[in-house]
Structure 1
Amino acid sequence: MIDRLLAELPQLMVDETVKAALLEDWGRAGDITSQATLPKHARARAVIAARKPGVLAGLGFAESACRQTDAALSFLPLKQDGERLAPNDQVARIEGPARALLSAERVALNFLGHLSGIATATSRFADQIAHTKAKIVCTRKTTPGLRAFEKYAVKCGGGANHRFGLDDAILIKDNHIAVAGGVSKAIDAARAFAGHLVKIEVEVDTLDQLREALQAGPDVVMLDNMSPETLQRAVEIAAGKVILEASGGIELDTVKAVAEAGVDLISSGWITHSSPVLDLGLDIEIA
């Protein structure tokens, strides 16, 4: 599982994003603090370690930050993305030119902390529903420019991915329905438009809308802001005819009841847009 996750992000995508972050951090003159205080030929070694428990994601970004800063920096991973971390667990060891090491530190930790935070939040939701068939999925509520990476972190945490953009699936929301003139009309129009490989999902707010949607035959129905009791009734009405996704304000203390209602998917924007950073630090030793 971990090897599969590591293979999903093309290195070029990682390197280009990390490069932009390094250039942003270095500004016009580079790391003037390290240049001012450290001898040019000074060397150092360091370890990246977890300060709090969580799930690791983004190790390749830290490695890229070190490699692109100075090829003379050696980066030895001690864990893999998707692994659970306990406090003080060592994630990686770095050794080489001290100036380069410190110039790469913040970018490396920013990516590691952010992506590991998403993986950790996802894992906590996934753990709550592990006894059910439901899966936690992310949304398009992501940081601009980081969507692919944040969705990767979701998978590291045991979740699954919803659509990546507006072009890879049709998702008919309440505003589409309002303009189109109804659930059935919107689904029929989408079916006439879509190619044979394009999935169609429709959002419904009531059980009556669900019944109307089932007549039109979408691939997935999103049940928006429904109580666990209403979700359970929706599962009974759908009777396995479509994939059912629960959405809307689902939190860690409510996700178990939602999953136990029998839905297939539970979508959460919170895991990508509001998950706290996982605290990881870099501790340095003179080589």
Structure 2
Amino acid sequence: MGELGTKLGLDELTGGAATISRALLAEFIGNLLLNLFGCGACVKISLESNSETDILLIALAFGLAVFAAVSAIGHISGGHLNPAVTAGMLCTGRIKLIRAVLYVIVQCAGAAAGSGLLKALTPDRMAGSLGCTGLGVDVTELQGFGIEFFLGFLLVFIVCGVCDANKPDSKATAPLAIGLTVTLGHLLAVDYTGSAMNPARSFGSALVASNWSHHWIYWAGPIAGGIAGALLYVHGFTAPPQEPPTRYRSVAGDEKELKRLDGGKLDDMA
């Protein structure tokens, strides 16, 4: 295999075929659960169809879904669950191109499967748009792009911070931090853009609901923001490598070493 093939990640399809297969399955299942439970919180199954959108319910549902999924599959695939995160990891050299492309494909497939299951499990009269993302009242496309850009920026910036290899203490709380970041983004942006934050999540809902209105925003915004967040963290905020603990020798050992180096002159001076 040539050098180019190795850089692109072709070696992962041969030597590590079993490993990448598990990672792809993990990303598929993670996105399936995200769209099933997260978008499910957007469906008003109550007969009170005129009730207001419960933003807190939606924010917690998506945040908890991400927290649970990352906790379960993070050690297998890295717990990307989001093309914006994958794009950020690709641009900073954390993963190779072929793995990134495969991740995005299975993320979208998993999200579509999750939204399909949600549609199948929901009464037709109550299904509505199945949590499909869309711009709020009087929100322009440029404003929507800006909101999704900063949602992607925030998420990937936090992901890079809690997964920094030089900060091992933060890894235990990484799934919770990432889930809370998703919750934070939804608390802000549900009324603006539906708070996609995740192109695959938006794709799955749009595919099942056949609603592609302003769909480009939900790809361009989070991915551009994710790349910016990843590059900023890696080049500006990466923690310094931890130095190994210093080993001290006994004072007596230090004195013997000095005598040896000085040819015994220390005794004469005494």
Instruction: Please classify the TM superposition score into its range, dividing by the shorter chain length.
Output: under 0.3
**Greater relative CO, 1 or 2 (CA 8 Å, sep 6+):** 2
- Report which of the two has the higher share of helix: 2
**Structure exhibiting the larger radius of gyration computed from Cα positions:** 2
- Report which of the two has the higher share of strand: 1
Q: TM-score, normalised by structure 2?
A: 0.21
